[in-house]
């Protein structure tokens, strides 16, 4: 039996856990589970990479305060890293951030500032970013890592997530990755293009997101999708984009939960998009399809998994259809 001993919480991450969803969805889809670390999501990789780089560059020093805009998961990851390394952390979010994420950030010593009024053009995300800039203006001890434009966001996945996937499945045929800041998407896509260009890269986004040029509409599930096009995105690395309505995210999360897998909203969106794509593009038996699952579901218990919230937001039909999928 091997023993792993760590001295900091960001040193541990489960790198090679995959779930074959064929018994649940009818197609062989291998789900790379990224939520088994102390931050509970894939965002720990980006958080650590961005903080490491800032420390190397001398932008972080004792007494510094990290400031970041986040819908939840990166905020949790940065609060963990900040607590471990002795920095103060301020997370700027909005009402879509789940209660569980907010409470976790605060339990780790971080502050949470909730933005309630959207920018008239760039929405809540734009308003959050404006507020971050205001907080940091004239403060040498405040540092905004800027996950939306920081290249260490995607480099973390070029160095870690992409190699982990290809090492496990050298015969990879298609890869599904969700699009939020597009850090995970860009890092994985760049690595796969460099090492196995035959793989099809499918980006999965939420309906209402402007990332790939769609119209901005209300989105209530945090994680994927943006109201401001991410600076990291380079569409030349993406073969196709699948857009998933939030109600389908809810249905897929609940379908997986009935099989014993409690995943987060971002994961439900990615799996839903993959299911639809695979139905339209049947793969040969020897092909390998992999999807990246960014998070687990505990932080979504009061939204995606709460009947009253689902029926109030999406209507009773959505709840009944979700129940039908669960029963099936």
pLDDT digits (tens, 9 = 90+) for 132-162: 999 999 899 999 999 999 999 999 999 999 9
For residue 181, being part of any structural domain is answered with yes
Closest CA to 326 of 302, 298, 307, 303: 307
The pLDDT of residue 222 is 82
Backbone angles phi, psi at 195, to 5 degrees: -115, -20
| Structural tokens at position 252 | 């897929």
| Structural tokens at position 51 | 């903080």
pLDDT digits (tens, 9 = 90+) for 159-176: 999 999 999 999 999 999
In this structure, the answer to whether residues 135 and 173 fall within a common structural domain is no
Residue 3, pLDDT > 80, answer: yes
In this structure, the answer to whether residues 130 and 201 fall within a common structural domain is no
Q: How confident is the model at residue 215 (pLDDT cuts 50, 70, 90)?
A: confident
In this structure, the answer to whether residues 178 and 265 fall within a common structural domain is yes
pLDDT over 70, % of the chain: 97
For residue 4, being part of any structural domain is answered with no
Residue 53, pLDDT > 80, answer: yes
For residue 129, being part of any structural domain is answered with yes
Average pLDDT over residues 4-17: 93
Q: How confident is the model at residue 77 (pLDDT cuts 50, 70, 90)?
A: very high
CA–CA separation, 9 and 322 (whole Å): 36
In this structure, the answer to whether residues 25 and 47 fall within a common structural domain is no
The pLDDT of residue 221 is 85
For residue 214, being part of any structural domain is answered with yes
CA–CA separation, 316 and 293 (whole Å): 28
Q: Domain ends where: 144, 175, 197?
A: 144
Residue 324, pLDDT > 80, answer: no
More confident residue, 63 or 326: 63
In this structure, the answer to whether residues 116 and 169 fall within a common structural domain is no
For residue 38, being part of any structural domain is answered with no
In this structure, the answer to whether residues 181 and 299 fall within a common structural domain is yes
With the C-alpha atoms ordered 235, 241, 244, 245, is the resulting torsion angle positive or negative? Answer: positive
Q: How confident is the model at residue 323 (pLDDT cuts 50, 70, 90)?
A: low
For residue 289, being part of any structural domain is answered with yes
In this structure, the answer to whether residues 176 and 140 fall within a common structural domain is no
In this structure, the answer to whether residues 276 and 171 fall within a common structural domain is yes
The pLDDT of residue 260 is 97
More confident residue, 190 or 4: 190
Residue 328, pLDDT > 70, answer: no
Q: Domain ends where: 78, 112, 144?
A: 144
Q: CA–CA distance from 48 to each of 67, 142, 153, 290 (Å)?
A: 14, 18, 9, 24
Residue 322, pLDDT > 90, answer: no
For residue 3, being part of any structural domain is answered with no
Average pLDDT over residues 238-252: 96
In this structure, the answer to whether residues 241 and 290 fall within a common structural domain is yes
Average pLDDT over residues 192-200: 97
Q: CA–CA distance from 47 to each of 108, 157, 176 (Å)?
A: 15, 11, 22
Half-sphere exposure of 188 (CA within 13 A, CB side): 30
88-94 and 111-115 beta bridge pairing: parallel
Q: Domain ends where: 144, 176, 194?
A: 144
The pLDDT of residue 325 is 58
Q: How confident is the model at residue 219 (pLDDT cuts 50, 70, 90)?
A: confident
In this structure, the answer to whether residues 170 and 263 fall within a common structural domain is yes
| Structural tokens at position 318 | 């959505």
The pLDDT of residue 315 is 84
Q: Which domain holds residue 112?
A: 43-144
Q: What is the 3-state secondary structure (H, E, C) of 182-248?
A: CHHHHHHHHHHHHHCCCCEEEEEEECCCCCCCCCCCCCCCCCCCCCCCCCCCCHHHCCEEEEECHHH
Residue 327, pLDDT > 60, answer: no
The pLDDT of residue 286 is 85
In this structure, the answer to whether residues 16 and 132 fall within a common structural domain is no
In this structure, the answer to whether residues 13 and 160 fall within a common structural domain is yes
For residue 327, being part of any structural domain is answered with no
Average pLDDT over residues 254-278: 96
Report how many domains make up the chain.
Answer: 2
Average pLDDT over residues 8-15: 93
| Structural tokens at position 274 | 């993959």
More confident residue, 121 or 205: 205
Kindly report the CATH number assigned to the domain that includes residue 228. 3.40.50.1100
């Amino acid at each position: 039996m091997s023993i792993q001993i760590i001295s900091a919480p960001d040193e541990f991450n489960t790198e090679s856990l995959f779930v074959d969803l064929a018994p649940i969805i009818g197609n062989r889809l291998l789900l790379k589970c990224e939520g088994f670390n102390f931050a509970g999501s894939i965002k720990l990789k980006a958080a650590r990479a961005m903080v490491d780089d800032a420390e190397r560059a001398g932008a972080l020093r004792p007494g510094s305060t990290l400031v970041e805009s986040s819908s939840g998961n990166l905020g949790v990851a940065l609060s963990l890293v900040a607590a471990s390394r002795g920095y103060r952390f301020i997370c700027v979010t909005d009402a879509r951030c789940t209660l569980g994420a907010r409470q976790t950030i605060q339990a780790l010593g971080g502050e949470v500032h909730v933005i309630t009024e959207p920018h008239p053009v760039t929405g809540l995300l734009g308003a959050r970013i404006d507020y971050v800039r205001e907080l940091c203006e004239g403060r040498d001890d405040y540092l905004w890592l800027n996950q939306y434009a920081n290249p260490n966001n995607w480099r973390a996945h070029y160095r870690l997530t992409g190699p982990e996937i290809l090492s496990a499945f050298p015969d990879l045929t298609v890869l599904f990755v969700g699009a939020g800041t597009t850090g995970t998407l860009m890092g994985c896509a760049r690595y796969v293009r460099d090492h196995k260009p035959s793989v099809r890269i499918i980006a999965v986004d939420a309906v209402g997101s402007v990332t790939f040029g769609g119209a901005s509409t209300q989105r209530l599930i945090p994680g994927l999708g943006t109201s401001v096009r991410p600076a990291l995105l380079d569409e030349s690395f993406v073969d196709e984009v699948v857009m998933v309505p939030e109600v389908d995210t809810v249905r897929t999360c609940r379908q997986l939960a009935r099989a014993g897998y409690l995943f987060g909203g971002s994961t439900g969106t990615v799996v839903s998009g993959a299911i639809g794509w695979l139905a339209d593009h049947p793969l040969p038996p020897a092909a390998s399809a992999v999807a990246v699952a960014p998070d687990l579901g505990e932080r979504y218990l009061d939204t995606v998994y709460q009947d009253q919230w689902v029926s109030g937001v999406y209507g009773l039909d959505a709840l009944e259809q979700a129940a039908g999928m669960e029963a099936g």
